[in-house]
Structures are given as structure tokens and as C-alpha cells.
Amino acid sequence: MKHTVSLSIGEYHASKEPAVVYTTLGSCVAACLFDPVSQIGGMNHILMPGKAHLGKCDAASRFGVNAMEVLINALMKSGADRRRIVAKVFGGARVIPGISRKYAVGHRISDFIVEFMATEKIRILSRDLGGIHTRKIFFHTDTGDVFMQRIRSTISLNLAVEERDKLNQIKKRVKDPMDYTLF
């Protein structure tokens, strides 16, 4: 039986022993990397795009470049061949509806991860980025399989309910006769 590993923000796990690594993502992004020949895989949980200033940050692997470097290095130390590594990437939701796409951190992390993979010549086999729903990801390190569960955003649901209630109030007011005062 495979052991399970739960990841929090800024964490990663690479293993040549079969494992199921899982995490829950909102605006964060997870990269699942896998060497299909050696059957070694790993996953990270990225909070921010870019690179941490190592002298000023105690959790460098929360940042994209650092998170990818530590994961790739851990895979290679376990026996993966850098040239064979492939990826599946997930997350980057816009979980706060009031923030425009331009300023949403999930969008920026998604753009970062796609660009990083292209620059590093790591082929993305599948992706599920963006949207408004959180995701729970289960990555099998020995097969490269990923199972994803979408979790409906309660913020979006609450906003939809509020908007529907407001629309019903407006419709009711329009149907009710109003008192007019002529000046």
C-alpha cells in the first residue's frame, strides 16, 4: 500500500518509493513532476510567482523559482533523469471574485508555471489552471497519475445568492406602484 503525504503551502515531496501526495489549491499552483522511466515523481505547492530573496525570506520554497528548483533537485537526487521529466500542473483559481484577472495572484502563478516549464523544456502533459473553484489534487509518484476533485467556491456561491436576492428585490419594487410627488 502506498503511503500518503499531505502538502501545505511552500512544501514539496519527491519520492522513488510509491506515494500519494495530496494538497488543496485555491490561487496557489501545484506542479506534479514525473520521470516515466525511473517512475520517480514529486509535487510542490507554490504560493507566489517569481523568486524569493533568500536573505529576507524564511520560506523560500513558497516562491515559484525556488519551489521548482528544490523539487527538480530532489527528483534528480532520487534518481530521476532531468531530460525525461514531464509535468502536470493545477491551481491558480481566482477565489476572490472582486479582484480583476490582471491582479489576481492565481493568474500570475499560472502564467509563471507555464513559462517556467517552457524555458526549462519540461513538457506539460496536462493542466487545469484558472477558473474560480478550488481543487484537491492527488498525485501518484510512481505512475504520474493525478486525480483532481473540484471544490465549489463558497465565496462565488454566496455572491450568486446575494445577486439573485438583490435582483428579486428590484423586480418586486418595479412591480409595486410608487408614490410620486410633483414639484
Distance of alpha carbon 117 from alpha carbon 120, whole angstroms? 5
pLDDT of residue 58: 46
Q: Is 73 helix (H, G, I), strand (E, B) or coil?
A: helix
What is the band of 57 on the pLDDT scale with cuts at 50, 70, 90? very low
Give the global pTM.
Answer: 0.79
- Confidence band (pLDDT; 50, 70, 90) for 168? low
| Per-residue pLDDT tens over the stretch 72-95 | 999 999 999 999 999 999 999 987
Give 56's pLDDT tier (boundaries 50, 70, 90).
Answer: very low
Q: Hey, what domains does the chain have and what are their CATH numbers?
A: 3-175 (3.30.1330.200)
CA distance 126 to 158: 31
Residues 109-153 have pLDDT tens digits of: 999 999 999 999 999 999 999 988 899 999 999 999 999 999 876
- Amino acid letter, residue 21: V
Q: Is the pLDDT of residue 98 over 80?
A: no
